[in-house]
């Protein structure tokens, strides 16, 4: 099972681990749309039933919405290449910067959960008046609780559940790799039996909040 380390700055490159994840699947299992969405490994009969989804990259104008943040390079590189992701059957979500939501089941029309909509505010105007604002950029959910990766204006990163949060020194790549390894090693997918979801939730909390 994956474990957290106490290294302030990780040398793990996000794209290296992402490539490692994707290389588990044959090219025939990956569908790439005109909007550059990538749907990986079909797991259900419905049109959107894929294990992993990487959404097409963010535009320069969308990335400008983050200009008031000191953004870690690994996170910014990810958002340039992919405007969000849905991994492990929606268990691990990275919010995106596209706002053009469509009521459609076509793969080409799909977008990640909007970072702006998830925050429920106009990020730029909020930053003008709130100094200690933390922006939710990602979420992992096993059973009852959701755990959010948050970025501060100063570039700090933390993982939060309700009013409990971790120390503020892990890189986005480190969180990404840890969460993916944790879910992957457990063979967990959304919709597993309740007891397994509860057990994973407890184990996850014991690692990240009691390390």
Q: Which two tokens stand for residue 184?
A: 């992957």
Rounded CA separation 105/30 (Å): 17
**Element at 199 (helix H, strand E):** helix 194-208
Q: Where are the domains of the chain?
A: 14-208
Closest C-alpha among 18, 37, 2, 1 to residue 172? 18
Alpha-carbon gap, residue 166 to 210, rounded angstroms: 9
Buried/exposed code over 92-109 (b: 16+ C-beta within 10 A; e: otherwise): bbbbbbbeeeeeeeebee
Asked: is 14-208 a CATH 3.40.1580 domain? The reply is yes
Give me the tens of pLDDT residue by residue for the chain, a chain 211 residues long.
454 444 434 445 677 888 888 888 999 999 998 888 898 999 877 767 889 999 887 777 777 777 766 677 788 888 888 888 999 988 899 988 766 566 677 777 787 877 766 544 444 444 444 445 778 888 888 877 888 888 877 777 888 887 677 765 567 888 888 888 888 888 766 555 677 778 888 888 888 877 5
Query: 64: alpha, beta or left, given left = phi > 0 and alpha = psi -120 to 50?
Result: alpha
Full-prediction pTM beyond 0.95?
no
């Amino acid at each position: 099972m994956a474990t957290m380390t106490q290294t302030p700055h990780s040398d793990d490159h996000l794209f290296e681990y992402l490539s490692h994840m994707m290389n588990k699947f044959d090219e025939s299992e990956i569908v790439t749309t005109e909007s550059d969405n990538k749907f990986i490994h079909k797991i259900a009969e419905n049109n959107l039933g894929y294990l992993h989804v990487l959404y097409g990259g963010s535009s320069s104008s969308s990335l400008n919405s983050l200009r008031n943040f000191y953004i870690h390079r690994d996170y910014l590189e990810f958002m340039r290449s992919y405007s969000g992701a849905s991994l492990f059957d929606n268990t691990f979500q990275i919010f995106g910067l596209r706002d053009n939501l469509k009521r459609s089941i076509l793969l080409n029309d799909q977008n990640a959960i909007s970072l702006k909509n998830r925050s429920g505010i106009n990020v730029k105007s909020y930053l003008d008046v709130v100094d200690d604002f933390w922006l939710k950029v990602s979420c992992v959910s096993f059973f009852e609780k959701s755990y959010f990766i948050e970025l501060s204006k100063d570039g700090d990163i933390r993982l939060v559940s309700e009013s409990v949060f971790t120390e503020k020194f892990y890189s986005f790549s480190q969180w990404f790799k840890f969460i993916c390894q944790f879910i992957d090693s457990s063979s967990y997918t959304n919709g597993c039996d309740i007891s397994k979801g509860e057990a994973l939730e407890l184990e996850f909390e014991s690692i990240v909040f009691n390390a």
